[in-house]
């Protein structure tokens, strides 16, 4: 058993990064991610962590510095949120397309306009098409665990890994977190590592087929990441179930599909409904990419997807799940820091069980629209 510490989600990530020993860290402040990089700056300044901490002028620069560092075979880390993620978006594609490993923490938050610095998932979902591995945790312990695993998985498949944790809900609330005894292997050198002796150009101009091939290889390796995520999860001091966590699913007639910090409250609601004899359970998505297609195919029951992000009139997870399953219900809520407690979930789930939820429903709770 490792040492136990009282840590916020942000500091849990910083502690995991310290164990991973990145060579280069570059990041730019943005609420609610800032305490991660402040902590890492402190660790590097006081010698706890032997990394180069680069004070950059923007998120675009932050990810660009890491892109350079990981091309040189170094281990890299950054963290951001919302506007910052959008600001570095071009480089996100380049990191994934360059087939280089790294880890980025994303403290998920609403995107303007209008201004809102509180939690939802509309930022992290923009990574869906880039080729990044995208995880979403439920609590500070999982934030710690997934960050450590992220370095391993990312370096196995040469794809970058984003660890999402809900802004404020997880980033700024403290929990007891076990610091795992876990050692990462040294980063292995890829054939396209850049050194003065390298005899090639990285990312030169392509046209047509070579581009299709590059993107195809990337997609195949993202698929391959599914097995690696499961293996790394299995050999870890605790296992979460791989791409998904199944909660009271075995006999469930009603299944809610969700991801992130609010799953804890939703599980409490499930426990309450179970006491009333309602057979309800949850499939918690731990990963948005690679998407747990098989795990969703297997589901046998009525499905409700609860989303904290939207595209068009639907929720983003709703869209993803409906590509696999017909007849699902989709609730969209919790934007901009809107809090849902156990009772809210009890209400939503009861309506779902009573078949009173519309196919797509924007949920305001008891608040006025």
Partner 1 sequence: MVLLKGNASCQGCPHSIAFKALSYLENPIVLMPAGCSTVIAGLHPNSSLEIPCVHVPFPATPAVSYGLSTGLKKRGIKANVVAWMGDGSVDISYSLLTGSALRNDDIIVIVVDNEAYMNTGVQSSGTTFWKAKTTTSPKGKREERRDVALQMALHRVPYVATASIGYMRDFIKKVKKAGKVEGFRFIHVHCPCPPGWGFESSKTVEIARKAIQCRAWILWEYENKKFRISNISKKARGNGLKDYLLSQARLRHLSDEDIEEIRRRIEEEWKLLEHLEKL
Question: Beta 24-27 vs 52-55: how paired, if at all?
Answer: parallel
The answer to whether 243 and 289 are in contact (CB under 8 A) is: no
User: Which segment (52-60, 143-151, 177-185, 278-286) binds partner 1 by CB under 8 A?
Assistant: 52-60
Closer of 16 and 25 to partner 1 (Cβ): 25
Instruction: Report the residue from 56, 117, 174, 190 that binds partner 1 according to the rule CB under 8 A.
Output: 56
Instruction: Report the residue from 58, 176, 300, 358 that binds partner 1 according to the rule CB under 8 A.
Output: 58
Closer of 202 and 323 to partner 1 (Cβ): 202
Query: Residue 228: which of 125, 152, 128, 115 has the closest Cα?
Result: 152
Q: Is 26 in the site for partner 1 (CB under 8 A)?
A: yes
What's the per-residue H, E or C state across 236-283?
CCCCCCCCEEEECCCCCCEEEEECCCCHHHHHHHHHHHHHCCCCEEEE
Q: Tokens 């009271």 map to which residue?
A: 248
Closer of 52 and 246 to partner 1 (Cβ): 52
Q: Is 126 in the site for partner 1 (CB under 8 A)?
A: no
Q: Is 273 in the site for partner 1 (CB under 8 A)?
A: no
Task: Give the nearest distance from C-beta 71 to partner 1 in angstroms.
Answer: 6
User: Which segment (73-81, 118-126, 218-226, 335-343) binds partner 1 by CB under 8 A?
Assistant: 73-81
Query: Residue 62: which of 41, 83, 80, 35 has the closest Cα?
Result: 80
Q: Is 367 in the site for partner 1 (CB under 8 A)?
A: no
Q: Which sign does the torsion angle of CA 250, 255, 260, 264 carry?
A: negative
The answer to whether 135 and 287 are in contact (CB under 8 A) is: yes
Instruction: Report the residue from 13, 27, 40, 67 that binds partner 1 according to the rule CB under 8 A.
Output: 67
d(C-alpha 157, C-alpha 153), whole Å: 6
Size of the site for partner 1 (CB under 8 A): 42
Q: Is 346 in the site for partner 1 (CB under 8 A)?
A: no
Q: Is 113 in the site for partner 1 (CB under 8 A)?
A: no
Determine the straight-line distance between the first and last CA of the chain, rounded to whole angstroms. Answer: 49
Q: Tokens 């510095």 map to which residue?
A: 65
Considering only residues 193 through 222, tell me which ones interact with partner 1, judged by CB under 8 A: 194-207, 210
Instruction: Give contact residues for partner 1 (rule: CB under 8 A).
Output: 23-24, 26, 52, 54-58, 60-62, 64-74, 76, 90-91, 94, 194-207, 210
């Amino acid at each position: 058993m490792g040492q136990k510490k009282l840590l916020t989600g942000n500091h849990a990530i910083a502690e995991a990064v310290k164990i991973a020993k990145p060579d280069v860290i570059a990041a730019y402040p943005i609420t609610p991610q800032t305490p991660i990089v402040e902590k890492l700056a402190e660790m590097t300044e006081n010698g706890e962590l032997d990394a180069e901490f680069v004070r950059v002028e923007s998120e675009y620069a932050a990810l660009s510095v890491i892109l350079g560092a990981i091309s040189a075979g170094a281990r890299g880390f950054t963290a951001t949120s919302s506007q910052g993620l959008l600001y570095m978006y071009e480089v996100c594609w380049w990191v994934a397309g360059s087939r280089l490993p790294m880890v980025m923490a994303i403290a998920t938050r609403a995107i303007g306009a209008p201004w809102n610095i509180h939690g939802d998932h509309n930022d992290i979902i923009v990574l869906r098409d880039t080729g990044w591995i995208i995880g979403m945790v439920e609590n500070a312990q999982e934030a710690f665990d997934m960050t450590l695993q992220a370095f391993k998985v990312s370096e196995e498949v040469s794809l970058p890994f984003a660890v999402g944790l809900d802004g404020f809900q997880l980033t700024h609330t403290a929990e007891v977190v076990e610091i795992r005894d876990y050692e990462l292997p040294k980063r292995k050198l890829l054939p396209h590592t850049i050194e003065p002796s390298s005899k090639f150009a990285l990312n030169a101009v392509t046209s047509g087929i070579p581009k299709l091939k590059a993107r195809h290889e990337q997609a195949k390796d993202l698929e391959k990441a599914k097995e690696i995520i499961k293996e790394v999860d299995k050999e870890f001091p605790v296992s979460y179930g791989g791409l998904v966590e199944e909660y009271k699913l075995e006999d469930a007639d009603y299944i809610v599909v969700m991801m992130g910090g609010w799953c804890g409250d939703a599980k409490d609601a499930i426990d309450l409904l179970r006491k009333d004899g309602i057979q309800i359970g949850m499939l918690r998505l731990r990963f948005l990419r690679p998407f747990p297609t098989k795990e969703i195919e297997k589901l046998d029951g009525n499905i409700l997807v609860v989303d904290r992000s939207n595209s068009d009139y639907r929720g983003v997870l709703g869209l993803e799940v409906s590509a696999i399953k017909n007849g699902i219900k989709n609730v969209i809520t919790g934007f901009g820091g809107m809090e849902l407690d156990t009772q809210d979930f009890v209400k939503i789930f009861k309506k779902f069980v009573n078949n009173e939820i519309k196919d797509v429903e924007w949920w305001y709770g008891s608040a006025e629209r």
